[in-house]
Amino acid sequence: MRGQRKVARPVPIATVEPAAPVLSAAAALDLACLREELDTINQELLALLERRGRIVHQVMQIKREYALPAHDPERERRMVEALFSAASDVYPRAALERVFSTIFEVSRALGRKSPPK
């Protein structure tokens, strides 16, 4: 192997992750309080969704009894427009559209099932 040069292989360099910022005691307390508030809001949202689901079952029972269409796109459009009119600028309209579109879609699916006993 005369005349051939050895090629040095690169040596891996250990990566050092930046240290997480250290919160002051006040900031840590604020963060903990805000997270508790978010947890409470999540529980409230769940309760409201479950309440909505129970009402969806009642609506669907009436619609089946009177042979009404299960889906009313015009009513859904009016509800969405009313929600957008009432919304502040915290969430972009596209985000609200996704949230409520999902709620309505899941509610339609829920309405096709028999209510829990």
Residue range 56-98, pLDDT digits in tens: 999 999 999 999 999 999 999 999 999 999 999 999 999 999 9
Res 30 pLDDT > 70: yes
- Locate the domains of the chain by residue range: 27-111
Confidence of residue 3 (pLDDT cuts 50, 70, 90): low
The residue written with tokens 């502040």 in the block is: 88
Model confidence pTM above 0.85: no
How is residue 113 annotated by DSSP?
A: S
Confidence of residue 20 (pLDDT cuts 50, 70, 90): confident
Taking each helix axis from N to C terminus, what angle separates 25-65 and 93-111, rounded to the nearest 10 degrees?
40
**What are 95-104's contacts with CB under 8 Å, separation 24+?**
103/49, 103/52, 104/76, 104/79
Neighbours of 29 (CB within 10 A): 11
What average pLDDT does this structure show over 41-56? 97
Q: Which CATH code for domain 27-111?
A: 1.20.59.10
